[in-house]
A and B are shown apart, each in its own frame.
Chain A
Amino acid sequence: MDYVVEMLNIRKEFPGIVANDNITLQLKRGEVHALLGENGAGKSTLMGMLFGMYHPDLGSIKINGSEVKIANPNVANDLGIGMVHQHFKLVHNFTTTQNIILGIEPKKGLTVDIKSATTKVAELSKRYGLNVDPSAKIEDISVGMQQRVEILKMLYRNAEILIFDEPTAVLTPQEINDLMEIMKNLIQEGKSIILITHKLKEIKAVADRCTVIRRGKYIGTVDVKSTSEMEMAKMMVGRPVSFKVTKIPSTPKDTILKIDNLCVQNNKKVLGLKNFSLEVRAGEIVGIAGVEGNGQSELVEAITGLRKIESGSVVVKDQPINTLSVKKRIDMGIAHIPEDRHKRGLILDYTVEDNMILEIYHKEPFSRYKLLNRPAIHSYADKIIADFDVRAGEGGASYARSLSGGNQQKAIIGREIALDPDLLIAVQPTRGLDVGSIEYIHKRLIEQRDKGKAVLLVSLELDEVMNVSDRIAIVNNGELIGIVQASETNENEIGLMMAGVKGEDRHE
């Protein structure tokens, strides 16, 4: 068999923990090989060894059949291994070409030969169907384009083995489809790909074989075509997982949130949300579907008080809140699971405990006469940690920074639900989480609905919006395109509306 990469019986220990235990991964030439596992399963450690960032304690690595020692990433580069990192490593005020040649600039005398580099980048871009403008600045191009620049960076360095680390986490549905096409092109041009992911749908769409690891252990390698998503999920999580969110039909009651003709500016000082109207009632989940940057952030920030409202009104429980402070809105029963848990959601240098009182530190019993009441804070945080299964080394005393992404997210969701809000706004609540955590968080959202709360769910994952919501409002370019019942629609209809095609247009 023709293997380009063989990682055989790899074992890697870190002090106190076995990160990889007897793991084997064999990449055939010209295949897309998925590496599937939950957060913390050891995927990154394994790939770190292939990329020369760690060295295996036991086991061997073979490239093109011969055993190699990969001492550092430069060696990996020389062996033709390239990696597209989840967080791009680009200089924002440089052009794409400047970024691509960074570190291996072609010289012409004492100057950089940017012309020939630009030509080469353009050629590569064309050959692999990447459609990258060689002279565009990084700050002016979309996230999806930036990722392609990262891919070009590897191709420019003649990488034969491409590692994609969670490449779709930052992409919109369309961009994901484009990326899948690009991967297929790469394979056709003779490259081999390792795809690190925990998204089964993508594996199904693009991968040939899939190696599953769980808690540092090798579970198996399967042929993707003959294995169902359900089976792979079970291998990954270790128990059967239900994809379909089970829920009873909603019984909406009074209107909790009423948005009327709302206009909000975006960061570029133009209207990011235009004449937007929506109602959310008690006991229902309304999902907002749309491609990233189509007014979702503006909508959420206008409701929560983080952004100024230009015109229109937001009414919560029959009271206009347009000019109320963030604090007053929280007191009115608006809770917000923010889009970016590191920017807004948590104070990473505070303990988990201190983070749990971020909105209520000034209230009894957490403080009295402006003095913090530690015992009360402590027991409150402990309860959230227990109820929401937040795993932290030292419990409430752990620094938020030290928690894994999933546990940080659970802590935030626990904190918001513990406020017992009448309106819960959940923005991308499962971003970057694994199947097990996603299932859990969806259950919690539906539980809120069943308790008679109003839930506004904003997500870029179409599956999530469709599975969890009762009604779906679709936004495009800051405008409401339409509202559909989740039970009466399909991906195709919503997809078209996300692209800006209105309901009535379609039937013509």
Chain B
Amino acid sequence: MNKAGIISLISVFLGLLAGAVLMIITGHNPFVGFMYLIQGGTLTLERIGNTLATATPLILTGLSVTFAFKTGLFNIGTPGQMLFGGFCATAVGLTSNLPSILLLPLMLLAGFLGGALFAFIPGLLKAVFNVHEVVSSIMMNWISFWIVYYTIQAYFKGNMETESRLLADSATLRAPWLSNLFGGSYINLGLLIAILCVAVVAFILNKTTFGYELKSVGFNRHAAEYGGISVNKNIILSMMISGGLAGLAGVMQYAGNANNIQIGVMPSQGFDGIAVALLGGITPIGSLFSALFFGLLYSGRGFMNAMTDVPPEIADTIIATIIYFAATSILVERLLDKFSKSRKTAQLSEATTADPLYPDSSEKNTEDKGDN
């Protein structure tokens, strides 16, 4: 297991510990609480299926954040990109009468492009005017939110004022064989697509010249420029692919786990993607595992509520605390570094003649990344 993996596990452990403390303070037995939390996500095949389904959009939003991060970009417009991607797919699904085999790929494409469009704008602003993507991507969320709000009410209104019409079964990612396999769970083909995306993204980042360019820009844009790599092109492409992945998360959510869009709700999976990516150590495979962990927490929460007298608000606080610790895994990394620092700088100073009088020069330049 590599360092990132160990850090993530420690973070999870600390998160659970904090959750346990919270349960003790509110007068509940943490062992019982956690037992039901875990059982809630794993006790039956159906529950396992639901855990996986809950994790599906999170895998993709985590992947989305990871991808941008590799190019030194912090895409926090994932909620809006996810919502708009899901909306585009839903719009396609509600308006065309194609057979599933054509319709589903078309919806996935629409979802990807919808998300990509919403990330293209902050990417362009960053590349051309050096507008910080954190500001410009988060502001896009509300544009997405209100466009979807208006358009669904105006054109796709369902039985209720607040949601779109239901997609036909042929226009969702649900597959009877898969649901049956998991005892009638709402697990769907989205999971397979998400896993496929993990593999594709890992392949792009590690094996292709495109991945080499993206990471070069992310690590050191000045050196990338010096090497003849187009920094602006890669920033825009990276944002678009990141947004596209978030858009796919929207398809999984609104045409897989659900079969319509509720308006007036910003999808929480978007921001959770940041936590998923951080806990996953900013790697594609890490995002997969950390999304599964989040899926377990979310789907076990209800069961814990039902089986214990932990009030739902406390249960949510506990989950939020665990996520908080998980997301701040960077703290654990710092602590670990501090722990082994005296030894490490000493070795470094001799092995590499990095100057021991300037310990900051031998630290990993986390600040550098922030500058980009």
| A contacts, CB < 8 Å to B | 14-17, 19, 39-40, 42, 44-45, 47-48, 51, 53-54, 83, 85-87, 165, 304, 306, 325-327, 329-330, 336, 338, 343-350, 354, 358-359, 361-362, 367, 370-372, 393, 401-406
26 A-B residue pairings within 8 Å (CB atoms): A16-B347, A19-B350, A39-B353, A40-B353, A44-B357, A45-B349, A54-B346, A165-B355, A326-B225, A326-B226, A327-B229, A329-B228, A343-B220, A343-B223, A345-B226, A346-B220, A348-B219, A358-B227, A370-B209, A371-B208, A372-B212, A402-B348, A402-B352, A403-B352, A404-B353, A404-B354
- Find the B residue at minimum CB distance from A165: B357
B3 contacts chain A at the CB level, 8 A cutoff:
no
Of residues 200 to 228 in B, which have CB atoms within 8 Å of A's CB atoms? 207-210, 212-213, 215-216, 219-220, 222-228
| B contacts, CB < 8 Å to A | 207-210, 212-213, 215-216, 219-220, 222-230, 343, 346-358, 361, 364-365
- Find the B residue at minimum CB distance from A344: B226
Q: Are A347's CB and B207's CB within 8 A? A: no
Q: Point out the residues of chain A lying under 8 angstroms from B353, CB to CB.
A: 39-40, 44, 404-406
Choice from B207, B213, B216, B228 contacting A330 with Cβ under 8 Å? B228
Q: Point out the residues of chain A lying under 8 angstroms from B364, CB to CB.
A: 401
Q: Point out the residues of chain B lying under 8 angstroms from A165, CB to CB.
A: 355, 357
Min CB distance A169 to B, Å, is 11
Q: Are A326's CB and B228's CB within 8 A? A: yes
Q: Are A325's CB and B228's CB within 8 A? A: yes
Bound-state Cα–Cα, A404 to B355, Å = 10
Q: Point out the residues of chain A lying under 8 angstroms from B215, CB to CB.
A: 350
Q: Given A326-B226, A349-B219, A361-B209 in contact, is the A54-B347 Cβ separation under 8 Å?
A: no
Report how many A-B pairs have Cβ atoms within 8 Å. Answer: 117
Q: Are B209's CB and A362's CB within 8 A? A: yes
Q: Are B228's CB and A344's CB within 8 A? A: no
Q: Point out the residues of chain B lying under 8 angstroms from A48, CB to CB.
A: 356-357
Sorted from nearest, which 10 A-B pairs have the closest CB atoms? A327-B228, A40-B353, A358-B227, A14-B346, A404-B353, A344-B226, A326-B228, A349-B219, A17-B350, A347-B220
- Find the A residue at minimum CB distance from B358: A87
Q: Point out the residues of chain A lying under 8 angstroms from B358, CB to CB.
A: 85-87
Min CB distance A149 to B, Å, is 18
Q: Point out the residues of chain A lying under 8 angstroms from B355, CB to CB.
A: 44, 86, 165
Q: Given A349-B219, A354-B212, A371-B209 in contact, is the A47-B357 Cβ separation under 8 Å?
A: yes
Q: Are B212's CB and A306's CB within 8 A? A: no
Q: Point out the residues of chain B lying under 8 angstroms from A367, CB to CB.
A: 208-209
Q: Are B209's CB and A14's CB within 8 A? A: no
Q: Assuming A86-B355, A370-B210, A402-B351, what are 18 further A-B pairs, CB within 8 angstroms?
A: A14-B350, A40-B353, A44-B349, A44-B356, A45-B349, A47-B357, A54-B346, A54-B356, A86-B358, A306-B226, A327-B230, A343-B220, A350-B215, A358-B216, A361-B212, A367-B209, A370-B209, A406-B353
Q: Are B225's CB and A371's CB within 8 A? A: no
Q: Point out the residues of chain B lying under 8 angstroms from A354, CB to CB.
A: 212
- Find the A residue at minimum CB distance from B354: A404
Q: Point out the residues of chain A lying under 8 angstroms from B207, CB to CB.
A: 371-372
Min CB distance B324 to A, Å, is 27
Min CB distance B146 to A, Å, is 39
Q: Given A326-B228, A402-B351 in contact, is the A15-B346 Cβ separation under 8 Å?
A: yes
Bound-state Cα–Cα, A204 to B347, Å = 33
Q: Are A338's CB and B352's CB within 8 A? A: no
- Find the A residue at minimum CB distance from B365: A348
Q: Point out the residues of chain A lying under 8 angstroms from B229, CB to CB.
A: 327
Q: Point out the residues of chain B lying under 8 angstroms from A45, CB to CB.
A: 349-350, 356
Q: Given A372-B212, A405-B353 in contact, is the A358-B223 Cβ separation under 8 Å?
A: yes
Q: Point out the residues of chain B lying under 8 angstroms from A329, CB to CB.
A: 228
For A346, A349, A367, which residue has the most chain B Cβ atoms within 10 angstroms?
A: A349
Q: Are A346's CB and B223's CB within 8 A? A: yes
Min CB distance B200 to A, Å, is 13
Bound-state Cα–Cα, A402 to B225, Å = 23
Q: Point out the residues of chain A lying under 8 angstroms from B356, CB to CB.
A: 44-45, 48, 53-54
Bound-state Cα–Cα, A192 to B230, Å = 53
Q: Are A347's CB and B223's CB within 8 A? A: yes
Min CB distance B216 to A, Å, is 6
Min CB distance B213 to A, Å, is 8
Bound-state Cα–Cα, A379 to B134, Å = 41
Bound-state Cα–Cα, A327 to B354, Å = 32
Q: Point out the residues of chain B lying under 8 angstroms from A87, CB to CB.
A: 358, 361
Q: Point out the residues of chain B lying under 8 angstroms from A350, CB to CB.
A: 215-216, 219
Bound-state Cα–Cα, A14 to B347, Å = 6
Q: Point out the residues of chain B lying under 8 angstroms from A327, CB to CB.
A: 228-230
Bound-state Cα–Cα, A165 to B355, Å = 10
Q: Point out the residues of chain A lying under 8 angstroms from B361, CB to CB.
A: 87
Bound-state Cα–Cα, A490 to B353, Å = 36
Q: Point out the residues of chain B lying under 8 angstroms from A343, CB to CB.
A: 220, 222-223
Q: Point out the residues of chain B lying under 8 angstroms from A336, CB to CB.
A: 226
Q: Point out the residues of chain A lying under 8 angstroms from B351, CB to CB.
A: 17, 393, 402
Q: Given A346-B223, A350-B216, A372-B207 in contact, is the A14-B349 Cβ separation under 8 Å?
A: yes
Q: Point out the residues of chain B lying under 8 angstroms from A54, CB to CB.
A: 346, 356
Bound-state Cα–Cα, A87 to B355, Å = 11
Q: Given A327-B228, A344-B222 in contact, is the A85-B357 Cβ separation under 8 Å?
A: yes
Min CB distance B172 to A, Å, is 34
Q: Point out the residues of chain A lying under 8 angstroms from B220, CB to CB.
A: 343, 346-349
Bound-state Cα–Cα, A350 to B16, Å = 35
Q: Point out the residues of chain A lying under 8 angstroms from B224, CB to CB.
A: 347
Min CB distance B187 to A, Å, is 34
Bound-state Cα–Cα, A406 to B353, Å = 9
Q: Point out the residues of chain B lying under 8 angstroms from A404, CB to CB.
A: 352-354
Min CB distance A403 to B, Å, is 6
Min CB distance B229 to A, Å, is 8
Min CB distance A352 to B, Å, is 12
Q: Point out the residues of chain A lying under 8 angstroms from B347, CB to CB.
A: 14-17
Q: Point out the residues of chain B lying under 8 angstroms from A401, CB to CB.
A: 364
Min CB distance A332 to B, Å, is 11
Min CB distance B139 to A, Å, is 29
Q: Point out the residues of chain A lying under 8 angstroms from B216, CB to CB.
A: 347, 350, 358
Min CB distance B3 to A, Å, is 13
- Find the B residue at minimum CB distance from A47: B357
Min CB distance A437 to B, Å, is 12
Min CB distance A219 to B, Å, is 18
Q: Point out the residues of chain A lying under 8 angstroms from B343, CB to CB.
A: 15
Bound-state Cα–Cα, A329 to B353, Å = 35
- Find the A residue at minimum CB distance from B355: A44
Bound-state Cα–Cα, A350 to B351, Å = 18
Bound-state Cα–Cα, A403 to B353, Å = 8
Q: Point out the residues of chain A lying under 8 angstroms from B365, CB to CB.
A: 348
- Find the A residue at minimum CB distance from B210: A370
- Find the A residue at minimum CB distance from B343: A15
